[in-house]
Amino acid sequence: MDPVYLDNNATTRVDAAVVSAMLPYFTEQFGNASSIHAFGAEVGAGLRTARRQLQALLGAEFDHEIVYTGGGTESDNTAILSALETQGGRNEIVTSTVEHPAILSLCAWLEKTRAAKVHYIGVDARGRLDIDAYRKALGPRTAIASIMWANNETGTIFPVETLAALAHEAGALFHTDAVQAVGKIKIDLSGSEIDMLSLSGHKLHGPKGIGALYVRRGVRLRPLIRGGHQERGRRAGTENAPGIVGLGAAAALAQEHMEDENTRVRDLRDRLEQGLVQRISHAVVTGDIENRLPNTANVAFEYIEGEAILLLLNKAGIAASSGSACTSGSLEPSHVLRAMKVPYTAAHGAIRFSFSRENTEADVDRVLEVMPGIIAQLRQMSPFWDGESKTRTAFTPTYA
Amino acid sequence: MWEYSEKVKDYFFNPKNAGVLEDASGVGEVGAIACGDALKLMIKVDPETDRITEAKFQTFGCGSAIASSSALTEIIIGKTLDEALAITNQDIADFLGGLPPEKMHCSVMGYEALRSAIANYRGEVWEDDHEEGALLCKCFGVDEGMVERAIRNNVLTTMEQVAHFTKATGSCGTCVEGIEEVLERTNAAMVEAGELAASQAFVVGAAPVVGRKTPRNSPVVALTSPPATKMTTLQRIKLIEAELEALRPALQSDGGDCELVDVEDNKVMVRLTGACVNCQLASVTVQGIQSRLAERLGTPVRVIPVPSGH
Ligand SMILES: Cc1ncc(COP(=O)(O)O)c(C=O)c1O
Ligand code: FES
């Protein structure tokens, strides 16, 4: 049986068409785009096409608003570090408690080493940002507000246009980590107030290690990586031509499949989610149900632990993920679910299923077929599970 | 994902002795759902021979927690209680063909549950040294005795190892200083007893703590600057009190709270409550308080959270 891959928020398969687009750039068209000879010129043309493809997916007004980077993490780092330098006299950052570590670790480091002041805005039980707190945190000292477009664990979408406008009222820049949003939902940056946006190739069936930072025309950017004049001096280093071409091809395909992603894929997700909740008691869907990515389902199964679920799923040929402490090597459960105050009884047993256009009805059927058995098997072993009657057993640990 | 041995996988996928043991003669329970793993070990003992005739477990936890629990039951069935008490967590790990270092706490959980179950059978109050104050790590419910046993049984000499074996310090990190003390003290005793080379012993502050989940010592804004001399101590304390008071509503709205315990030079001891439930926020909180105080006092300070109940 073919494996069922439902971990597309972690990474996606590179589309076969993307691979074919990239291959010539390893072989015949291996030139350096900066060279004067024919080898370089051909590559230059390929890069220009790729840039326009990505520009079209983002709805960016100018193609030079795109700066290629080594991925989502580099884009995030570039945006925040640049803002602290260009926004003279401002050393505060407003962000959320549910950002990706690409933002949170950087912020923690900036607090420690650069005396930056970081405001972490919380979310409610559905994962929605506390807009009031966000508004209050913005001020004359705010250099940049950075709020993700969509959360990687729950798919919850944030109102980035409103947030950008509020940031501008305070004279601050606005950046969004759109790594999970780009390619999955329609994005139109023309006429947008968003100053900077991060994206990553491998989340939209493109290659790993290539990403981009959109920088709205007129917004000053301090490069993170200095050296040659590539990317108009905004990101040094010989262009990753195969990667850039791959990202362009992936962007074009994503645009083509946008409709599919938001109809068929969404339906698959919904069917899985509803099927799980119907078949399995004490299973809760987390995140903002009405307003989230079409491909992401995060379901928490009470009284059992996520890694154990994933191991059994994996044995059944199904790949998913969890924010569970045990799988990440960290000892705490997902910071996103904790920020949402998902109770511990459920937070440890949260499983994320993330779809892509490659998934089918059969995939959903497979999961629905094996999941009830897996959950029952683990609950049988759990000291907290007392049959369908629910109520916790008289488990009285020494130090609860 | 983790590299589990074949035996771990086997004991996870086909666990032996899972379930409830009716009329068990001894029950040991460790861990809690909030901590991410918990084990209930049930044993039946033949009073004539003092042998464990049956053992079953119920475990909430990851693959290696379930495998360790199951392995434990296999190891102890047929053993006398004294033989069982001689088993260490390393025996459980060895039985399974080893565990990833980060997962050693699963074997420790089994070891602790076994001690607890035997004590329960013998009618002893488990852990005579277990008073309110001895609970060192609130996040994972780890007391001093458990840390000490893990250090001795496994010859642990770094804070990272202690986290791997007991999980203590792995979350909010407010227990780092307490655990460091125990590690230093226990290592010193082991050196004395000839169980450890003096050069290996852990000494607080002697080496940087390494590891992915580095237990955070509260960052010092600038270590070298002397404490403020402009303000009198009383003025400083008053100012600190006022600042903390101003911060409390925000913490309370998150279900936490904070109170000033002591001020000593540039060290500000605070007690955070409720915050451990949301550990990441706790460290953010501490840093937030620290930078705010530093700003208002005009000098670097170090905010040290002290566990509640002390
Ligand atoms: C929201 C978010 N931001 C950033 C990243 C990092 O992107 P990359 O892996 O390209 O560095 C990821 C990917 O895991 C993500 O989900
Ligand atoms: S990690 Fe030990 S008390 Fe929070």
Q: What CATH number is given to the structural domain containing B184?
A: 1.10.10.1100
Q: Are residues B64 and B155 in the same domain?
A: no
Interval A216-266: pLDDT, tens: 999 999 999 999 999 999 999 999 999 999 999 999 999 999 999 999 999
The count of domains in chain B is 3
Among candidates B1, B141, B291 on the partner chain, residue whose Cβ is nearest the Cβ of A111: B291
Measure A317 CA to ligand 2 centroid, in angstroms.
37
B221 lies in a domain? no
Interval B12-32: pLDDT, tens: 999 999 999 999 999 999 988
Please report, for chain A, the start and end positions of each structural domain, with discontinuous segments joined by +. 4-11+260-381, 16-256
Return the exposure string of B192-205: e unless at least 16 CB atoms fall within 10 Å of the residue's CB, then b: eeeebeeeebbeee
- pLDDT over threshold 90, residue B207: no
For residue B297, what is the domain's CATH number? Answer: 3.30.300.130
Interval A268-321: pLDDT, tens: 999 999 999 999 999 999 999 999 999 999 999 999 999 999 999 999 999 999
Q: Are residues B157 and B186 in the same domain?
A: yes
- More reliable by pLDDT, A331 or B168: B168
Q: Is B275 in the pocket of ligand 2 (CB under 6 A)?
A: no
B180 lies in a domain? yes
Measure B102 CA to ligand 2 centroid, in angstroms.
17
Interval B104-141: pLDDT, tens: 999 999 999 999 999 999 987 655 444 445 788 888 88
Q: Is B176 in the pocket of ligand 2 (CB under 6 A)?
A: no
| Alpha carbon distance A165, A169 (integer Å) | 6
Write out chain B residues lying below 8 Å of A341, CB-based.
278
Write out chain A residues lying below 8 Å of B279, CB-based.
332, 338
Contact between A397 and B63 using a beta-carbon 8 Å cutoff:
no
Q: Which atom of ligand 2 is nearest to the CA of B176?
A: 2
Q: What is the pLDDT of residue B280?
A: 41
Given B102, B121, B140, the domain boundary residue is B121
Return the exposure string of A381-398: e unless at least 16 CB atoms fall within 10 Å of the residue's CB, then b: bbbbbeeeeeeeeebebb
B162 lies in a domain? yes
Q: Are residues B188 and B253 in the same domain?
A: no
Interval B54-67: pLDDT, tens: 999 999 999 999 99
Contact between B66 and A383 using a beta-carbon 8 Å cutoff:
no
DSSP B101-154: GGGHHHHHHHHHHHHHHHHHHHT--S-TT--GGGEEETTTTEEHHHHHHHHHHH
DSSP B200-241: GS--TTTS---STTPPPPPPPS-TTSPPP-SS-HHHHHHHHH
pTM of this prediction exceeds 0.90? no
B51 lies in a domain? yes
Q: Is B139 in the pocket of ligand 2 (CB under 6 A)?
A: yes
A321 in Cβ contact with A311 (< 8 Å): no
Among candidates B30, B60, B170 on the partner chain, residue whose Cβ is nearest the Cβ of A305: B60
* Fold for the domain defined by A16-256: Aspartate Aminotransferase; domain 2 (3.40.640)
Q: Give residue B22's domain range.
A: 6-121
B224 lies in a domain? no
Please tell me the least confidently modeled range out of A344-353, A389-398, B42-51, B224-233: A389-398
Closest CA to B14 of B89, B66, B77, B90: B66
Q: Are residues B91 and B176 in the same domain?
A: no
Q: What is the pLDDT of residue B99?
A: 92
Write out chain A residues lying below 8 Å of B127, CB-based.
398
B215 lies in a domain? no
pLDDT in tens, chain A (400 residues): 789 999 999 999 999 999 999 999 999 999 888 888 888 888 999 999 999 999 999 999 999 999 999 999 999 999 999 999 999 899 999 999 999 999 999 999 999 999 999 999 999 999 999 999 999 999 999 999 999 999 999 999 999 999 999 999 999 999 999 999 999 999 999 989 999 999 999 999 999 999 999 999 999 999 999 999 999 999 999 999 999 999 999 999 999 999 999 999 999 999 999 999 999 999 999 999 999 999 999 999 999 999 999 999 999 999 999 866 665 566 677 889 989 998 888 889 999 999 999 999 999 999 999 999 999 999 999 999 877 654 443 343 333 2
Q: Which atom of ligand 1 is nearest to the CA of A209?
A: 10
Q: Are residues B116 and B144 in the same domain?
A: no
B226 lies in a domain? no
CATH number for A4-11+260-381: choose from 3.30.70.980, 3.40.50.10540, 3.30.360.10, 3.90.1150.10.
3.90.1150.10
- Radius of gyration of the CA atoms of chain A, in A: 22
